[in-house]
Chain A
Amino acid sequence: MEQTINIIPIQYYMLLCTLLFVIGVAGVLIKRNALVIFMSIEIMLNSVNLLLVAFSVYHNDPAGQIFVFFVMIVAAAEVAVGLALVVMVYRHTHSIDIDFLNKLKW
């Protein structure tokens, strides 16, 4: 593992993760479908996971990899709640387009 990180410098990992993160952010901001927004949030969280693992190997410190497990668990819990909310909204509006959620405005 440590040889690999020497062959591919840490900057490359950071660049890749930042790109993935920006793709996720753009997806959340542009897409209107709730499920696609969930997917984009997952891309954001997974780019963080990749970055943490890369840093963990770079620093030769296992804490970063343990943190990834926590992120995964929390992401799973979050998606469970999120999908339940989508089902709840779908029962009312028969759509998962978030533009239908415009009742609360000032």
Chain B
Amino acid sequence: MGALISTVVLGMITMLLGVMEKKKWILPVVIIGLIISFGINFTEWNKYHHYFNEMMIVDNFSVAFNGVLIFTSALVFMFSGNYYRSVDRPLEDIYSLMIFALSGAIVMTSFSNLVMLFLGIEILSISMYILAGSKKFDLASNEAAMKYFLTGSFATGFLLFGIALIYGSTGSFNLHEIAAYTTQNKELLPAYFSVGIILVMIGLSFKLAVAPFHFWAPDVYHGSPTLITAYMATVVKIAGIAAFYKLFDICFSNVSGIWVKTLLIFSVATIFVGNLAGLYQNNMKRLLAYSSIAHAGYMIMGIVAINKTSAGALLLYSVSYSIVTIAAFGVIILVREIRQNDDIETFNGLARTNPYMAFTLTIAMLSLTGIPPLAGFAAKYYIFTSAMENGYLWLVILALIGSAISAVYYFKVIIAMYMKSGNWPAIPGTRIYRIQLVALTVLTLILGLVPSLLLII
């Protein structure tokens, strides 16, 4: 709860600074504020609080995921100073919307009532619709915002209809009361309760870009400003998966017969659609969009096989995924800014002109493939063992085939950078930028070597 209050206050302070035209202060204030709310968040560790008549419950799961969300947004903000350096206005609107989206994400990790789930998703989504269209004079950005908005609000309709049906069959919005009702009256549950669960699942899958509801993601990721794409691919996805996990763990785990098969199909479909479509991409942002779809599929595996270890495995997965994704987008932002293009051919010969950036991108791609000893390998290892413990050996085998396919397109980028020669001049990068990229690479390595640091919940 401290994290929620502090981020909302930070968003308002950012807006005030914008009104006072303190252009130079905004970014430092935002980053310091995020560090403070990161600290405040962890004061609630190991304390079980509930607020607003049990509408929100802050437990270790939500504290851990809030920490990841705040950390990830801070990483994105680190790159924003460079990204917006040619813009001449305070940019308080974009920064405060990003912070408000973060507060929505924090609501999504600590809800314990379907009302708060809905509000959290909407606070996050409505901010993201505006951010996707924040490059006002670029038609691609407009189109991305429009597509995101239409699919997002369509999905909200499904989510709400599902919530209404669940309310109708159990008589409550509270997750714990629903769970208690369903265990006591398992035989009395009407058929539309199952329909409700499936509709809620479809609504959340739309938001998470899980196949077969993923079709909006590549277009939106491609058209949005690159910094916002990085935010979307990390914060929105982590918040979505945390909400998905929390809802199905607390509320529906005792009626798992209804939804496990559907979710299994979603998971396999997502892994294969993401990885197979990724093979045909020659644009980096679209490639990372399909990669994020595929990774959503792996994370869904952790929900299919819910047991004691899957929360920790999901946490590790989301941290490792978001760190390497932000590193990759950090490189793309620089390359795109100088070369005005983000096709894979633009990266030809990058290793010769900018070895640091090429190395960072290589580590990111290897970690996304899941090569040991990087963070991506450790994350996949824990997710897959957690699925094996629940007896889903065939699912793990399919996921491994999916990872093998994904290696082809991740290596395409590495080959472009190291094997092919391009006649581009070197990209000038500031020293701070270089330090950020190196720090992200080091974090990827550390997480790969000692993943048990994050298996605490």
Contacts and interface: CB of A to CB of B under 8 A. Distances in A.
Given A14-B192, A104-B219, A104-B223, A45 B115 contact: no
A90 to B, nearest CB: 10
Contacts of B115: 66-67, 70
Interface of A: 10, 14, 17, 21, 24-25, 28, 34, 37, 41, 44-45, 47-48, 51-52, 55, 58-59, 61, 63-64, 66-67, 70-71, 74, 77-78, 81-82, 84-86, 88-89, 92-93, 98, 101, 103-106
Interface string B44-77: 0000000000000000000000000000000000
Given A78-B153, A106-B286, A64 B160 contact: no
Interface stretch (B144-152, B206-214, B433-441): B144-152
A42 to B, nearest CB: 9
Contacts of B302: none
A45 B156 contact: yes
A26 B323 CA distance: 40
Interface in B120-150: 122, 126, 129-130, 133, 136, 139-140, 142-147, 149-150
Of the listed residues B126, B147, B167, B281, the one surrounded by the most CB atoms of chain A closer than 10 A to its CB is B167
A81 B157 contact: no
B154 A41 contact: yes
Instruction: Say what secondary structure dominates the interface of chain B.
Output: helix
A15 B63 CA distance: 42
A21 B154 CA distance: 11
Contacts of B222: 104
A81 B149 contact: yes
A70 B118 contact: yes
B153 A61 contact: no
21 contacts: A24-B157, A25-B157, A34-B146, A41-B150, A51-B164, A55-B167, A59-B168, A63-B173, A70-B118, A70-B119, A74-B156, A78-B156, A86-B146, A88-B142, A88-B145, A89-B143, A92-B142, A98-B150, A101-B147, A103-B143, A104-B219
Contact of B140 (A10, A71, A81, A103): A103
Interface string B285-321: 0100000000000000000000000000000000000
Given A28-B154, A63-B173, A103 B122 contact: no
Given A25-B154, A89-B146, 6 more contacts: A17-B164, A48-B160, A55-B168, A67-B173, A81-B126, A104-B222
B218 interface: yes
Nearest to B154: A28
B164 A85 contact: no
B115 to A, nearest CB: 6
Nearest to B121: A74
B153 A64 contact: no
A94 to B, nearest CB: 12
Given A67-B115, A78-B122, A48 B157 contact: yes
B119 A85 contact: no
A83 to B, nearest CB: 10
Contacts of B223: 103-104
Contacts of A64: 164, 167
Given A48-B161, A52-B167, A81 B142 contact: no
